[in-house]
Amino acid sequence: MEIILAKQAGFCFGVKRATHLAFEAAERGGETYTLGPIIHSPQVVQRLEEMGVKALPNVDDIESGTIIIRSHGVAAHELDDAMTRNLEIVDATCPFVKKAQDHVAGLSKAGYDVVVVGDLDHPEVQGIVSYATGRVFVVSCEEEAQKLPRMSKIGVVAQTTQSFETLKEVVDVCLEKGSEIRIYNTICDATAVRQEEAKALAGKVDCMLVIGGFNSANTKRLAEVCAELLPRTHHIETASQVDPAWFDGVKKVGVTAGASTPKWLIDEVLERITEVERDKKR
Ligand code: F3S
């Protein structure tokens, strides 16, 4: 059985950087916290916990020590709170997310009403929006953009994981809503590139494994796009969930992983598949 691992499987640039900063902070010791889970990988969160890093939901719960800001950022007031409390801050916000936050702040300051193209429930969007000092709207699609009021100056920024199509559709509507428009394309293509590669792989194998947290939206989406092409797609978090029966009659197996899946989990799954094959030959 041939095992093909996708080139883009696992950590994206921002998650890799955040995880590295978190483990570095954990190694320094002392009271160390993250606001919510640092990334959507229960296994990484557990490892950090074992090293003494606690995930707390609120900055108010933290009196002293070090606070690590997760890759998709936090709201401006949470960062201010952390500073007021004299906490040591390790800012692991992905530089691409930071850029979106900075654009929102700059647009507001320059007198633009801001339109953020994204999902209102997503913490990244809630963080980005918090940097506006004037009016700000969040729209996730063209229909929602149609409901925007007329504005004289509109600044458009996108959630980093938005699709380019949606951004273009919203911008089109904004062109009819305002007389002056400034657009920042803050989309990061890591997610799209990973999905395209996974689709191509699913098209040429007999069985596909997608590794990543069951709470990770990008991993779930990755499993969905693969399953649309290949029903023999399985979303797993760890090697122990691999079922030998999945490989009956399989000649080629494809493996990919979400942006918050560490390399060690991918390696364990690859090892497990090799082991299953070895057992079958016995
Ligand atoms: Fe950053 Fe893009 Fe990853 S915005 S966190 S590199 S998906």
Res. 215: pLDDT tops 90: no
pLDDT, position 40:
86
Res. 218: pLDDT tops 90: no
pLDDT, position 153:
98
Alpha helices in 55-208 (DSSP H): 76-84, 95-109, 123-129, 142-146, 164-177, 190-202
pLDDT, one tens digit per residue, over 62-114 is 999 999 999 999 999 999 999 998 899 999 999 999 999 999 999 999 999 99
CB-based contacts of 73, cutoff 8 Å, min separation 6: 93, 94, 97, 98, 101, 123, 124, 127, 128
Res. 263: pLDDT tops 90: yes
Pocket test for ligand 1, best of 38, 39, 94, 191 (most atoms within 8 A of CB): 94
Q: Is 137 near ligand 1, meaning CB less than 6 Å away?
A: no
Q: Closest Cα to atom 3, ligand 1: which residue?
A: 14
pLDDT (average), residues 19-43: 93
Res. 9: pLDDT tops 90: yes
pLDDT, position 281:
79
Give me the count of residues in the chain: 282
CA dist., res. 228 & res. 238, Å (int): 22
pLDDT, position 30:
93
Ligand 1: which atom is nearest the Cα of residue 18?
5
Q: Is 188 near ligand 1, meaning CB less than 6 Å away?
A: yes
Q: Which two tokens stand for residue 200?
A: 């191509």
Res. 273: pLDDT tops 90: yes
pLDDT, position 36:
85
Res. 39: pLDDT tops 90: no
pLDDT, position 90:
96
pLDDT, position 219:
92
CA dist., res. 102 & res. 100, Å (int): 5
pLDDT, position 12:
94
The phi and psi torsions of 67 (rounded to 5 degrees) equal: -120, 130
CA dist., res. 161 & res. 232, Å (int): 27
**Per-residue burial over 172-185, b = 16 or more CB atoms within 10 Å of its CB, e = otherwise:** ebbeebbeebbbbe
pLDDT, position 282:
78
pLDDT, position 216:
86
188 band by pLDDT with thresholds 50, 70 and 90: very high
pLDDT, one tens digit per residue, over 43-67 is 999 999 999 999 998 888 899 999 9
Beta-bridge partners for 209: 234, 255
pTM for the full model?
0.88
CB-based contacts of 166, cutoff 8 Å, min separation 6: 117, 140, 141, 142
CA dist., res. 128 & res. 104, Å (int): 7
CA dist., res. 173 & res. 146, Å (int): 6
pLDDT, one tens digit per residue, over 153-178 is 999 999 998 889 999 999 999 999 99
Choose the catalytic residue: 2, 124, 142, 176: 124
Residue 165 annotated in active site = no
Angle at CA of residue 203, ends 224 and 40, nearest 5°: 35
Mean pLDDT value across the chain: 95
Q: Which two tokens stand for residue 213?
A: 């947290």
Q: What spacing in Å lies between the alpha carbon of 160 and ligand 1's midpoint?
A: 7
Complex-level ipTM? 0.99
Domains, the chain, with CATH or none: 2-10+189-281 (3.40.1010.20), 13-93 (3.40.50.11270), 96-183 (3.40.1010.20)
CA dist., res. 212 & res. 70, Å (int): 18
Beta-bridge partners for 114: 136, 155
Q: Is 226 a known ligand-binding residue?
A: no
Res. 217: pLDDT tops 90: no
CB-based contacts of 3, cutoff 8 Å, min separation 6: 252, 253, 255, 270, 273, 274
